[in-house]
Structure 1
């Protein structure tokens, strides 16, 4: 479903499991930090809202979205981490760099999740403009960080 037709902050919590003893890793890209900090706060607040303990949420930063995959692997390899949430922003520019980065991150995060048999969540905002990215980081389309945290909680129920 297109983001323009859905608010990223809307989700159904009826299937959520108890996460009070779960540990979460947040991997946050520093590139476009004004946006990624909002995504990270949305994810953090959502985890706390649904019972995670603050001391069980670990935040690591990586330089940019391309590095999310290795950052995810660094956290996922720890047995005590139950789920990893990756947050970044890639805005289309004058070149096709966004296609390469988005594809690499999607494939890389899938590989990490399968390798460690735990949820590794793709919380990458991929837009054409800065305004669209802001709309997905607490703006008119909600917060992709909230959606990513909700997906992590939901996946822990499997």
Structure 2
């Protein structure tokens, strides 16, 4: 569903019980920092609001969204990390660079998740404009960071219930 039809910060609490001891790594791209820091704040607050302690949340920076996959792999290799949330923003430009980066990041994050059998969450915005990014990073469409944290919690809850 398009985010202009749904607020990204609205979610149900299904599959989210008994996760207080889980540990999260949040990897944040420094590129488009105004957007990515807002995404981080949304994810961090959502985890806290759902019973995760500050001590169980790590924050790590990478230069850009392309580097999220490798950093996610480094985090996933650590046994004590239960889920990794990757946050970035790639804004459409005048060249095909956007397409290559978005494709590489999406595939990279998916591959890490499957390789390590852990939730590695794709919290990367791919808007056409800066304003669209801001609208999805705490603006009129909610915060994709909230959505990424909820996704991590729900996936851990699903795994716990299997």
TM-score (norm 2): 0.96
- Give secondary structure in 1 for the equivalent of 2:126: strand
Measured against aligned partners, the alpha-carbon deviations of 1:76-107 in whole angstroms (never above 9, x if no partner) come to 10000000000000000111111111110110
Aligned residue number for residue 117 of structure 2: 117
Structure 2: which 5+ residue stretches go unaligned? none
**Residue aligning to 1:142:** 142
Structure 1 unaligned residues grouped into runs of 5+: none
1:19 deviates by 1.8
CA distance in 1, matches of 2:97, 2:3: 22
Counterpart for residue 79 of structure 1: 79
Structure 1 residue aligned with 2:98? 98
**Distance in 1 of aligned mates of 2:2 and 2:38:** 21
Deviations, residues 58-93 of structure 1 (Å, cap 9, x unaligned): 010000000000110111100000000000000001
Which residue in 2 is equivalent to 1:61? 61
> When the two structures are aligned, how many residues end up with a matched partner?
158
Q: Does 1:29 align with 2:29?
A: yes
Root-mean-square deviation (Å): 0.7
